[in-house]
Structure 1
Amino acid sequence: MLKYLYAKNDAEIPSLNGLRALSIFMVIIFHLGTGAGKVLVSDGEILTTIIVNLQSSVDLFFMLSGFLIYGGLLDEYGRSSKIDLKKFYLKRTFRIIPAYYICLIVHFIQTKAAYKIGEKMTSPSPEILIIKEKLANSLSNSWTDFLYISNFFHDRLFSFGWSLSIEEQFYLVVPPLCSILLFKQKAEMRRIILVVLYFIPMIIRGFYYHFGFTADWTSFHTESRFDAIIVGMLLTELVRWKPEFLKNTSRTKNLGFSIGAALSLCIALLMSRTNINSIFIHTYFQFSFAVLFIACLLEGNFWNFIFRSRFFTPIARTSYTMYLWHGMFLLAALRFIFKNNLPSGLEAGPYLLLGIYTVLFVFVVCVPIFYITERPFLAIRDYILKRMKKKELQTK
């Protein structure tokens, strides 16, 4: 059963599997130490800042999507001077939507049940009334989750679904945009357009900050967060523009990118997210992740060697499942070893070990979920694509 998770895929870039695994690791560590999980960690300002900043790992997910999807579109257009939108959307639909909708249905049932329990309480406390109102809002806004626009609403059925909404909007908009506009331009003009697009979300975040908009507008809205996707697209352009840059590597270049990636990421993790930094924190992380990204693509680089390990492959392939379901299993992971005596006031070392254990727990639980909610639809997708290819060959 596990063969698919470990199987080698020549179409993949191994080191990017490592980056995807790093992304889901950071997401789970963040959610483990925020919200109700705040009791797990000490009150130390540095550790708290680092944990809060791990939410920017979503930017790395966005960059990976931008790099891989845009790269695939660019390759297809280079081969045939067109983009088969039907095939693209078929691939994305079977890859993303069934597993997501199954997760949403489970969340809806769970939220509805919790709301009914609150309804039956005769004398609910003020805290229960607040929770009940939030549950009611989540249920009434559930249609936004199903339409992939939940990132524009405060109370969502699936609280982590905002990033999936942004990605789905990217999948809907970018392929036609590439086909109609971007790929009609010369390479130099295409890159200029992407650079201009990159700065738009930063300007919008500045506008929202200046006029006192809530954090939701700068953190979850598409217009203020799509710059990370553009970074991934620009990295694709770099690879196509200067392929020799990744192959002809010197010791100095490798050392510079290895140290630069670690140093810039450490600095970003210590940055405040308040006040004016709410505009630029995403930019800091995008720069850090871009340096790490390039390091992972450089032949012979230390980070390339680390992240290309086959150890990360199964985690990367189940990362979508883990993102969808990890929120339901964080408490279960803790109670599995601590029962009802949950730890508190943990310092960095013990918390990191607890985080690693939690990620592995979520991975193990999500493997069967992957085979139930994702793998069958991937098999159907592959079958349909095979039939389509066979039909194309017959008509030639």
Structure 2
Amino acid sequence: MKLMHGVRLSTRGRSVELDFVRGIAIFVVMGYHFHTVRTGHAWVGILEYPLKSFGHEGVNLFFTLSGFLVGGLLLRQYAQSGRIGARRFIVRRIFKIWPAYYALILFHAIAGRHPRDTFLWQNLTHMQNYFGTSIAQTWSLAVEEHFYLFLPALLILLAHFKLRANALIVVMATLCLIVLGARCAAVASGDLEGAFNYTQYRMDSLLIGVMLATVYWMKPEIWQTVAAKKRWLLGAVALLLAWLAFATPHVALDESVGYTIQALGFCAFIVLVLEHSGRVRSTWLYRGLAWLGVYSYGIYLWHSLALAPGDYLIHKASALGVPSLVAWPVVLAAQFVIAIVLGYLTTRAVEFPFLRLRDALFPDMRGAVVAERQEGSAVEGKVEGIA
């Protein structure tokens, strides 16, 4: 197997660039779900448009980034040793995902905010994307859980035949085409809910991220060639933005070919951010979104609890006669603050301690490997730290 040029051992770390990508994703997801005050002013609607229009696309970005990061853990191991340690991979994923997830489910079971038959068995079995759940945001977690059981099995099978990077990419691209065809058929038959929620129709976004990880870890010369074409990457991201602005309102179009187009555009965005952040990396906005990305999983799990306080503020402002232009930023900001604080506290209280326990009981046997890129590289620290 061909390894990345200049691979060396390094200390643990996080990539601020990839946390920045996560920060963007969680910001638009929150903005999409949060309730706002109706002001009647067109310019407020313009300001709200990016927040209220791209929440689903934020989840699509999470899918593609997750495929790149988490799939990359397996691809890195395969590139180094020619084998896949599926058992350790799954155990480490359990320590990463389940403690915070089940803490959320336990909270709702005790608090009684939702009837238990509307979420409990669905979420406990990770089948909520098929059978529905009143804890609506958890549907995407089920898709990822299913995918990360499927992916090690797929890679073990492909490793048995000692397939190299090109063959791996061809196999995954073929699977993406199959998924795309199945999703288009579902949309054509009118099953828009299934096309949106079901794992078999959404896994191409994750697979495309895994394909990007295959290039990153096993075809460094191609990665460097693509990364050097900054104008092409900017052009791809511009086309992605045009698609988001003009095509996503057409639900059938977006749910058919749109998810695949978005994943490809997000790959270009990930490469652009990793390799060309430059001086922007030191700005307060970039660092702020990257900080948000560190706590994005906790925020994603708990941000729905900010909706009730938001509704309370809306009704209170209306009862007190507070001008809508004054209430609008206060209500929106309050929901962001509540969600971020909850995500921060639960991440510190649950996710981080279990990650330390995981690393003590099931250390990453591959070592803290990072790729030293040529001049201009932005990947610093261990990918495992944010996957």
| Aligned with 1:205 (options 163, 180, 183) | 183
> Which 10-residue stretch deviates more, 199-208 or 162-171?
199-208
Question: 1:20 corresponds to which letter in structure 2?
Answer: R
**Alpha-carbon distance in structure 2 between the residues aligned to 1:208 and 1:153:** 17
**Alpha-carbon distance in structure 2 between the residues aligned to 1:241 and 1:305:** 30
**Alpha-carbon distance in structure 2 between the residues aligned to 1:344 and 1:261:** 39
**Alpha-carbon distance in structure 1 between the residues aligned to 2:117 and 2:148:** 26
2:265 counterpart residue number: 288
2:79–2:218 CA contact under 8 A, matched in 1 = no
* 1:329, distance to aligned residue in structure 2 (A): 1.4
Match of 2:316, SS?
A: coil
| Aligned with 2:237 (options 261, 266, 269) | 261
What do residues 55-110 of structure 1 show as CA deviations (whole Å, max 9, x unaligned)?
12111111111111221111112333322223212211111111101101222233
**Alpha-carbon distance in structure 1 between the residues aligned to 2:64 and 2:284:** 16
Question: 1:341 corresponds to which letter in structure 2?
Answer: A
**Alpha-carbon distance in structure 1 between the residues aligned to 2:25 and 2:287:** 16
Change (3 A) 1:16 1:329: same
* 1:176, distance to aligned residue in structure 2 (A): 2.3
> Which 10-residue stretch deviates more, 352-361 or 364-373?
352-361
Match of 1:181, SS?
A: helix
Change (3 A) 1:195 1:246: closer
1:139–1:157 CA contact under 8 A, matched in 2 = no
Count of paired positions: 351
**Alpha-carbon distance in structure 1 between the residues aligned to 2:364 and 2:255:** 49
Mapping of residues 281-360 of structure 1, within 5 Å: 281-299=258-276, 309-332=286-309, 340-341=316-317, 358-360=335-337
Change (3 A) 1:178 1:209: same
1:16 counterpart residue number: 18
1:392 counterpart residue number: none
**Alpha-carbon distance in structure 1 between the residues aligned to 2:173 and 2:365:** 37
Match of 2:136, SS?
A: coil
Asked whether 1:181 is paired with 2:158, we answer: yes
Mapping of residues 379-394 of structure 1, within 5 Å: 379-386=356-363
Q: Which runs of 5+ in 1 are unaligned?
A: 1-7, 115-134, 390-396
1:16–1:308 CA contact under 8 A, matched in 2 = no
- TM-score, with length taken from structure 2: 0.77
1:202–1:279 CA contact under 8 A, matched in 2 = yes
* 1:259, distance to aligned residue in structure 2 (A): 4.8
Asked whether 1:105 is paired with 2:106, we answer: yes
1:54 counterpart residue number: 55
| Aligned with 2:143 (options 137, 150, 166) | 166
1:258–1:301 CA contact under 8 A, matched in 2 = no
What do residues 127-174 of structure 1 show as CA deviations (whole Å, max 9, x unaligned)?
xxxxxxxx4xx61552121111110013x1421111000111112121
> Which 10-residue stretch deviates more, 204-213 or 358-367?
358-367
**Alpha-carbon distance in structure 2 between the residues aligned to 1:293 and 1:41:** 37
1:94–1:377 CA contact under 8 A, matched in 2 = yes
Asked whether 1:151 is paired with 2:129, we answer: yes
